[in-house]
Amino acid sequence: MTYRRSLLSCLCLAMWVAGGAAHAAPDGRELYIEHCSACHQMQGHGGIGLPLPNAKLRDVTDDYLFKTVRLGRPGRVMPAFQRMSDAQVHAIVKFLRERSKTTEPTYSDAPIVGNAEQGKVLYAEHCVKCHGEDGSGEGQGTGVTGSRERSFLVMPASISNSGFLQSISDPMIHHVIEVGRKSSDMPAFGAGKLAAQEINDLVAYVRSFEQRQVEAAALAPDERPTHIYESPYDFDTTVANVKAALTGANFRIFPDRLVEEGLIDEFSVNTRQIGVRFCNFNVLYGMLKTEPRLGVVLPCRITIMERKDGTVLLAVPNLRVVSRWFNNDELVEMWDRMEQTFVSIIEEVTL
Amino acid sequence: MKTHLRSILPLVALWLIGGAALADDMLMARIPMRAEIALEYVKSSIEEHGYSVAHIQLCDSGMSDFGYKSDFYRVVFFGKISEVRMITERYPELVSYVPLKIAVIAEKDETLLAVLNPEALLPFFAAEEVQIQLGRWHSDLVSILDELRRATGQGLAARN
C-alpha cells in the first residue's frame, strides 16, 4: 500500500513537472505560427489580417503589441487572445521584435492636452476620407486579401475600435499622425502640414471615440446553437415544403445531400436524413467580402430528419450564435437579418 | 487503489485543460503552397486521422457561374459514420455542425485553412458524451492542421 502511495505521488509529481515544462518558457515563434501566421502571414505580409511590417513595429511599443494580442480588435476579425498566459503573449511580442530586428521606441509620459472640438474639424479635413466619420475605417472587409476588390491596398485602421484605443497611448497616436505610416500610405502630417498643437487636438478627438463605444448585443442566456422544429407533416412533404419556401424566398437550391452521404456505402446510408442546401450568390459574395472564412460553417442548410418514432425534425443553425464566433460585427449584423429569414421559412414550413 | 485513482483524476483533468487553454473559436493554418496542392494534403491528412471525406464543395465555381470573381475556395466535408449517427440519434442540436468542414482558401500562392473549433460548442452541451466528442474533434483538427504545417516545414515542436 505504501508502495502504491509512493507510486501515485511520483505520478502526480511527474505530471506537475511535465505540465509545468509544457507551459514554461513559451516559444514565441511557435505561438506566432499557431495563432497569428494564418492571418498575418509568417513574414507579416498580411492576408485576412493587417500586415505587420517592420516600419510599423518600429513605431509601436511592446505594451501596445501586448495589449493588441490580449484585447484584439472587438468586432474586427482580430480575436482577443485572453486564454494565453502573460508569458505566452510576451513571447509573441519578443518574437515579433526579433524577426523584425526592431527595438521598442520610447514615448514621453507627458499627457497630451488637446481640444477635441478643434480636432474634429481637422479630422473632417484630413482623416475622414480614409478612416470614416466614425473612425471605423473603410467599411467592408479586412486585411489585404487580394481576391476581393477594395479601394485601398490596406484597410485603414479602425481608430475608434475599443481594442485599439485601449492599446495605444496618446503620445503614440501623436507620433503616427506626425510621421505617418509608409507601410499603409498614411501620409505624415508633421513637417509643416499641421502644428504640434493641431496634432494634439486630433489626438484628443481620436481619444473621444472612447465615449462612443457601442457594444454588440449580447446573446440571450437561453440561446441555443441550432433551432429545432418538429414538422407536422411527413418526411417527404416536409422536404417539398422546405424547397418551396426557399424558392419563394429567392434562394437557389442545390441538389439534395443525405447527411450520411459519402461516409458509408450507398446501400447503408440513411435516406431519411437530408440536408437541403441553398444559396443566394449575391448575398454570399457580399458576406465573403466581409468574412472570408465563412466556409467553416456554410450555414445555408436545413437538415430534415425522420426519427425512429416517425416524427420529423428540422434543424437550422442559429446564426445569432454562429456569427459571434467570427468576432466580426459586420457579419453579426448581416446574419442577424438572415436569421429572421431562416426562422420565417421554417415557420412557414411547419405551419 | 480506486480511491487514489479518483483522487488524481482532477489533477489529470487540470493538466489536460492547461494544454487546451489556448482554444479559440476558429482554428486556422497558413500553408505555403498553392491551394490545389494543399487540398490534396488536406484530404490525405483527414483520412490518416480516421475520417472519411464526404464531399468537396466548389464555392469558387458556384460563384463564378453567377459572374462573381473568386479565387480557389473549397470546403471539405468529412466525418465518421459512427459519430454522425450518434449525433443524429441523440443530439440533433449538433446536426447542423456535422459533417465537419475545413475551408481551403487561396491567398495568391499560399493557402489558408480554417475550421470552426468544435469546442466553441462546449458551453451549450452539458452531456459528458458530447463534451468528450467535441474535445476529440478539437484534438484531431489541431493535429490535422499541425500535420499540414509540418508537411511544409512549419510544425509546432512543442506539440510533437
Judged against a pLDDT cut of 90, whether residue B98 lies above it is answered with: yes
**Residue contact A263–B79, C-beta within 8 A:** yes
- Residue of B156, B20, B29 lying closest to A23 (CA atoms): B20
Residues A340, A237 share a domain: yes
Q: Phi/psi of residue A213, each to 5°?
A: -65, 135
Chain B residues inside the 8 Å CB shell of A298: 57, 75, 101
Give this prediction's pTM: 0.79
Domain end marker among A190, A212, A234 = A212
SS3 B33: coil
Which residue in chain B is spatially nearest to A262 when comparing CA positions?
Answer: B54
Q: How far is A164 from chain B (nearest CA, A)?
A: 20
Residue A189 falls inside a structural domain: yes
**What is the CATH number for A262?**
3.30.310.70
Q: How far is A200 from chain B (nearest CA, A)?
A: 38
Residue B147 falls inside a structural domain: yes
Q: What is the dihedral of CA A296, B21, A88, A207, to 10 degrees?
A: 70
Chain B residues inside the 8 Å CB shell of A296: 26, 75, 101-103, 114-116
Length of chain A in terms of residues written: 351
**What is the CATH number for A91?**
1.10.760.10
Cα A338 from chain centre? 19
Please, what is the angle between helix A116-126 and helix A196-208, to 10°? 100
Q: Number of helices (H) and strands (E) in chain A: give both, helices first.
A: 15, 6
The ipTM value here is 0.81
CB count, 10 Å around CB of A24? 10
Q: How many domains does chain A have?
A: 3
Q: How far is B152 from chain A (nearest CA, A)?
A: 12
**Residue contact A228–B92, C-beta within 8 A:** yes
Residue B55 falls inside a structural domain: yes
Residues A337, A230 share a domain: yes
Chain A residues inside the 8 Å CB shell of B103: 293-296
- Residue of A100, A41, A75, A65 lying closest to A329 (CA atoms): A75
Chain A residues inside the 8 Å CB shell of B143: none
**What is the CATH number for B80?**
3.30.310.70
- Our CA angle for B148, B149, B153, nearest 5°, is 120
Give pLDDT tens digits along chain A (351 positions). 455 666 555 555 555 555 554 555 899 999 998 889 888 888 888 877 888 888 889 999 999 999 999 999 887 778 888 888 999 999 999 999 999 999 999 998 888 999 999 999 999 999 988 888 888 875 555 555 544 444 444 567 788 888 999 999 999 999 999 999 877 778 899 988 999 999 999 999 999 998 876 666 677 888 999 999 999 999 999 999 999 999 999 999 998 899 999 999 999 999 999 999 998 888 887 787 778 888 888 888 999 999 999 999 999 999 989 988 888 877 888 888 888 888 899 988 988
Residue A11 falls inside a structural domain: no
Q: For residue A124, give its domain range.
A: 116-212
CB B133 within 8 A of CB B112: no
The Cα–Cα gap between A140 and A290 comes to 5
- Type and span of the H or E element at A184: none
- Residue of A216, A76, A57 lying closest to A136 (CA atoms): A76
Which residues pair with residue A252 across a beta bridge? A279
Asked if A288 reaches chain B (Cβ–Cβ under 8 Å), the answer is yes
Across the interface, of B11, B29, B88, the residue whose CB is closest to A305 is B88
- Residue of A197, A306, A232 lying closest to B95 (CA atoms): A306
